[in-house]
Amino acid sequence: MEKDLLIGIDIGGTTVKNAIITKQGELIAKWEVNTDLSDQGVRVPDDVWASIENKLTELDISKDRFFGMGVGAPGFIEPETGKVAIAVNIGWQDFALKDILEKVSGLPVYVENDANIAALGENWMGSGNQVENMIAVTLGTGVGGGIIANGQVISGANGTGAEIGHITVEKDGAYCNCGRYGCLETVTSATGIVRQAQELMEVGKAEPLQQRKEQNGAITAKDVFEVAEAGDADCKELLLHVCDVLGATLAMLAITTNPAKIVIGGGVSKAGDIILEPLKEAFEKYTLPRTNEACDFEIAQLGNDAGVYGGAYLVLQNS
């Protein structure tokens, strides 16, 4: 039977997203299963394969049509072995994800970090537009990143390539989940934006934000964007600082890899022009004119589906 299909899998701490995608990038089916976190997540691969087998039966699709499965998993992945060195939110440690999935499925399996795979997906079927050189950054609760250089996603010697969120941007800055201080994530994530807004309110600044806090009990990054957009100078300044820091970091990465596109995703990217315009200005300020000329900024298009598309693309790339 001629092979024409790919399976993309995106494993998260709450759900596992699965998709069947043609080699042309057409979505055939997409579904989710809950991530079973009991016993350090030991049953996750079996659950995933069981749900795929059910789906193949339901759709009457033969397993022989598949090139393989591409999996995005959280944490650090050993590129050579497809082992998950550590994934705190699932409970895996030195977990042989690739081997286990290949054994139960009988299909070739490729494993990558979830942020890297999202970059691949966004480049294949989203706003990356299949460029050879691209940087993707996701600004959500944390900051994730993926870098594609000469068509290949960079995973590095031991799976920490493109951990953009943990580039130090403020010496002795705020505490980061990685155990260090002043990482990009502490400044430019939604969580970081809220933290900096709290600091403003503590010294009596950003009054309209203070009012929202009194009304709602807490504030979100969205509140900060709205208050800035309504004209509050303190929140505007905060966002300018966020864009300056992000723009400088992206400029350094861009001088390293010379991307044709920088794709911004995650909740913070929904703020739109109030973030994008000052970000482009900061980028231009800190990078070479020629590097800037080659590079377009885009907002990510695939949202939560980027991972399954990227998984499928990883299979295609290796087949």
Where do contacts with Zn ion occur on this chain (CB under 5 A)? Answer: 166, 176, 178, 183
Q: d(Cα 151, Cα 259) in Å, to the nearest integer?
A: 11
Structure tokens at 101: 């999935």
Closest to Zn ion by CB, 83 vs 166, is 166
Cβ-contact 17, 304 below 8 angstroms:
yes
Q: How far is the CB of 185 from Zn ion (least distance, A)?
A: 6
Strand (E) or helix (H) holding 55: helix 44-59
Minimal distance in Å, beta carbon 221 to Zn ion?
A: 18
For residue 122, the minimal CB distance to Zn ion (Å) is 23
Q: Please, which residue, 108 or 156, has the CB nearer to Zn ion?
A: 156
Is the CB of residue 123 less than 8 Å from the CB of residue 116?
A: no
- Per the listing, tokens 């030991």 go with 42
**Which is nearer to Zn ion, 186 or 287 (by Cβ)?**
186
| String of DSSP letters for 195-263 | HHHHHHHHTT--HHHHHHHHHHSS--HHHHHHHHHTT-HHHHHHHHHHHHHHHHHHHHHHHHH--SEEE
When the beta carbons of 52 and 176 are compared against Zn ion, the nearer one is 176
Query: Going by C-beta distance under 8 Å and a sequence separation of 6 or more, which residues neighbour residue 154?
Result: 116, 147, 148, 161, 162
CB of 310 to Zn ion, least distance (A): 23
Amino acid identity at 259 = P
* Distance, CA of 253 to CA of 236 (rounded, Å): 26
Residue placing its CB nearer to Zn ion in the complex, 139 or 176: 176
Cα–Cα distance, 71 to 303 (Å, whole number) = 17
Indicate the residue among 28 and 178 with the shorter CB distance to Zn ion.
178
| Of 105 and 186, CB closest to Zn ion | 186
Min dist. Cβ of residue 222 to Zn ion (A): 24
- DSSP helix/strand/coil, 144: strand
Nearer to Zn ion, 35 or 113 (CB): 113
Question: Cα–Cα distance between 298 and 66 in angstroms, integer?
Answer: 32
Least distance between Zn ion and beta carbon 166 (Å): 4
Residue 239, both tokens: 């966002």
Query: Smallest distance, Å, CB 58 to Zn ion?
Result: 42
Q: In this complex, which beta carbon is closest to Zn ion, that of residue 166 or of residue 280?
A: 166
Q: Tally the residues of the chain.
A: 319
Q: Map residue 98 onto helix, strand or coil.
A: helix
- N-to-C CA span, the chain: 16
Q: At closest approach, how far in Å is the CB of 181 from Zn ion?
A: 8
User: 3-state class of 33 per DSSP?
Assistant: strand
Q: From the CB of 147, what's the least distance to Zn ion, in Å?
A: 17
